[in-house]
A = this chain, B = another copy of it.
Amino acid sequence: MAKTAGFCFGVKRALDMAFDIAKKDACTCTLGPIIHNPQVIKKLEDAGIAPVEDIDALKDRKVSSVIIRTHGVTIEQIEELENSEITVIDATCPFVKKAQNYAKLLKEEGYKVVILGNKEHPEVKGLMSYAGDDVMVVDSPGEFKKVRGKVGIVVQTTQQVETLKELISSAVENCKDLKIYNTICNSTALRLKETTEIAGTVDVIIIVGGKNSANTTQLASLCNELEVASYHIETADELETQWFEGAETVFITAGASTPEWIIDEVKERIEGIGGETR
């Protein structure tokens, strides 16, 4: 069992806030899914808090308050909400918040802001809105186009530091003034590190977490690079007996948004296939 599996600080904080509100206020929603784990979202919906897609949908539902997801939203959305009757409960992960502030600071200091991250991810969409019109988003260092002058880099919190190093090496060739905020969160870094260190000593790795979760898919793609048999599942139901044929050691890890009850179920199901847990 990975020591680093499961809820990180930001996810735990956001869910505590959400379930707390669920007890008090029947008339609230989250703007987008609060975290990227469909099973947790389902539980929250059962407790009365549904995710809605945009602010118009909030208005249609006449909610009194809205919870901002861990990944944050755009500055324009925050401003629109602040000008409305709806109360904002900000569950943005404090580390994402930090990255947003750095993006804003870089823009104000006249840097061209480069974000290392996936431009389709809500965290990056939020970051972009703070970085100014001139922002460049690169998903991989190869996408970086030569820029001279002042370049400031911020990073989606779930990226790998090795990718950041490659991007910087590319940028420093031409940029005489380069400012980097390494906003990769420690929780992500430690999870990736633990998996890297253990990969060579196990036969199979099971990665548990949302298929839409950036940090979980980072874990899964790391395992692919490490060339160890690995499977990314959301729940125990996806496990297949043949994955474990001839395997002596299985490593179970999970993303920052994967709840303990799902990890436990996976562990028990694998034990049932015939094993013991260390």
Contact = CB atoms under 8 A, between A and B. Distances in A.
Interface residues of A, number: 16
Contact of A172 (B164, B173, B176): B164
A239 interface: no
B183 A172 contact: no
Nearest to A189: B173
A169 interface: yes
Interface in A146-203: 161, 164-165, 168-169, 172-173, 175-183
Contact of A180 (B164, B178, B182): B178
A148 to B, nearest CB: 11
A165 B181 CA distance: 16
B169 A176 contact: no
Nearest to A178: B180
Interface of A: 161, 164-165, 168-169, 172-173, 175-183
Given A165-B168, A165-B169, 18 more contacts: A161-B172, A164-B172, A168-B168, A168-B169, A168-B172, A169-B169, A172-B180, A172-B182, A175-B182, A176-B181, A176-B183, A177-B181, A177-B182, A178-B181, A178-B182, A179-B179, A179-B180, A180-B180
